[in-house]
Amino acid sequence: MTYSDIIYEKNNGIAKVTINRPEVYNAFRPKTVTEMIHAFRDAWDDNKIGVVVLTGTGDKAFCVGGDQKDRGGDGYSGAGGLGNGIGMEIEELHNTIRNIPKPVIAAVNGYAIGGGHVLHVICDLTMASDKARFGQVGPKVGSYDAGYGSAYLARVIGEKKAREIWFLCEQYGAEEAQEMGLVNKVVPHEKLMEETEEWCNKILEKSPTALKMLKYSFNADSANIAGITQLAMGSLAMYYRSEEALEGNQAFIEKRPADFRKYYKG
């Protein structure tokens, strides 16, 4: 596969997947997601690779979720049978990052927002630049991730904080994210890749089979969330087709606040 939306590199046991759409803050479209799945599967298949790094191009954003300009009344533009009706194979990508039997490190170099935030949550470890910003925006733009994005987030940081993140849609700096257990380590922005590679090399000194079984064990305890994710993505596909969801999407594109008040009926 020739990649246009990502950069995929392999070096000394480390595979690096870089989302490469800086003009939209590394938002993903259907093609981006398909390319990411392909790259993660290659890293899975390659026995010389022991660890995968996920990051974004530039110093503005890691990833800000789905490309809102690619979304309309039928969900994202790749509409078809794959992807549970959403129009992109995001559920498959989430499961691939979860199930690849090698540690995946998110190197968060800027905004990790919306579906981009969900990606770092699913990764095994998160290394954050001191300039990184974290948050969910779904309810502001007529969207949600009620699978790993909420249920697994609550496992990671606890129910109260997870609910706050989704219900208030605020942003959190790197230090605050570390305090709530959302990231493992915060480093100076310019040292992000150096420090991430140091962790990769520490991991590569360990037994790959032990690491694989440990990842399976950690995953087993939250494996039911794969089922919740199926339901969540199926319901999201239906929600995307509603007037209420479209209002959020249109408001973002038109750079105006969404008017959701009219949907509080009674």
Ligand X SMILES: CC(C)(COP(=O)(O)OP(=O)(O)OC[C@H]1O[C@@H](n2cnc3c(N)ncnc32)[C@H](O)[C@@H]1OP(=O)(O)O)[C@@H](O)C(=O)NCCC(=O)NCCSC(=O)CCC(=O)c1ccccc1C(=O)O
Q: Which residues are annotated as a binding site?
A: 64-68, 76, 111-115, 143, 240, 255
Contacts of 43 (CB under 8 A, 6+ apart): 10, 15, 17, 49, 52, 100, 102
Binding residues for substrate: 64-68, 76, 111-115, 143, 240, 255
- What span, in angstroms and rounded, lies between the C-alpha atoms of 99 and 153? 17
40 binds ligand X per the rule CB under 6 A: no
User: How far apart (Å, rounded) are the C-alpha atoms in residues 156 and 183?
Assistant: 10
Residue among 55 and 199 whose Cβ is closer to ligand X: 55
Q: Judged by CB under 6 A, does residue 152 bind ligand X?
A: no
Q: How far apart are CA 145 and CA 82, in angstroms?
A: 17
Closest residue by Cα to residue 33 from 100, 116, 110, 106: 116
Q: x/- site string to ligand X, residues 90 to 119, per CB under 6 A? A: x--------------------x-xxx--x-
Size of the site for ligand X (CB under 6 A): 27
Query: Considering only residues 208-237, where is the footprint of ligand X by CB under 6 A?
Result: 236
Q: Does 86 bind ligand X (CB under 6 A)?
A: yes
Out of 51, 100, 128, 141, which residue is the one contacting ligand X (CB under 6 A)?
A: 141
What string marks each residue from 166 to 205 as x (binds ligand X by CB under 6 A) or -? ----------------------------------------
Q: Which two tokens stand for residue 14?
A: 């480390």
Q: Could you give the CA distance from residue 211 to residue 217 in angstroms, rounded to a whole number?
A: 10
| CA geometry: angle 247, 248, 252, nearest 5 deg | 115
Which residue of 20, 143, 150, 229 would you call a contact of ligand X, by CB under 6 A?
A: 143
162 within 8 A of 151, measured Cβ to Cβ: no
Q: List residues near ligand X by CB under 6 A.
A: 24-25, 27, 64-69, 86, 88, 90, 111, 113-115, 118, 136-138, 141, 143-145, 149, 236, 252
